[in-house]
Structure 1
Amino acid sequence: MSVNILVLYYSRNGSTRNLAQVIARGIEQVEGVESRLRTVPSVSTTTEAVAPDIPESGDIYCSEEDLKTCSGLVLGSPTRFGNMAAPLKYFIDNTASQWLSGDLIGKPAGVFTSTNSIHGGQESTLLSMMIPLLHHGMVIAGIPYSQESLHTTTSGGTPYGASHFAQGDSTQLSDDEHQLALSFGRRIATLATQLSTNTCKAD
Structure 2
Amino acid sequence: MTHVLVLYYSSYGHVRALAQAEADGARSVPGTHVDLRRVPETVPEEIRRKAGFVEDDTPLATPADLEAYDAILFGTPTLFGMMAGQMKSFLDQAGGLWARNALVGKVAGVFASTGSQHGGHEATLLSFQIPLQHFGMLIAGMPYTFTGQTTADHIIGGAPYGAGTIAGADGSRTPTETDLSGARFQGAHVARIAARLAGADRQGEAA
TM-score (norm 1): 0.89
AA of the residue aligned to 1:128: S
Provide, for residues 99-121 of structure 1, a one-character-per-residue CA deviation record: whole Å limited to 9, x for no partner.
11222111111001001111110
Shift of 1:200: 1.0
**Count of residues paired in the alignment:** 192
Residue in 1 that maps onto 2:175: 173
Whether the 8 Å CA contact 1:108–1:192 is kept in 2: the answer is yes
Of 151-160 and 67-76, the range deviating more from structure 2: 151-160
Residue in 2 that maps onto 1:51: none
Shift of 1:64: 3.9
3-state secondary structure, aligned to 1:38: strand
Identical columns (%): 40
Distance 1:44 1:14 in 2: 16
Matched, 1:158 2:155: no
Shift of 1:198: 0.7
| Consecutive aligned runs of 4 or more in structure 1 exceeding 4 Å deviation | none
Distance 2:9 2:122 in 1: 17
Distance 1:5 1:156 in 2: 23
The CA RMSD measured in Å over matched residues stands at: 1.5
Provide, for residues 152-183 of structure 1, a one-character-per-residue CA deviation record: whole Å limited to 9, x for no partner.
15311210000011134136321211111111
Q: Gaps spanning 5+ residues in structure 2: where?
A: 45-54
Q: Gaps spanning 5+ residues in structure 1: where?
A: 46-55
AA of the residue aligned to 2:193: L
Provide, for residues 73-110 of structure 1, a one-character-per-residue CA deviation record: whole Å limited to 9, x for no partner.
11111001000011100010010111112221111110
Residue in 2 that maps onto 1:21: 20
TM-score (norm 2): 0.88
3-state secondary structure, aligned to 2:110: strand
Residue in 2 that maps onto 1:85: 84
Give 1:97-176 correspondences, 5 Å limit: 97-152=96-151, 154-167=155-168, 168-170=170-172, 172-176=174-178
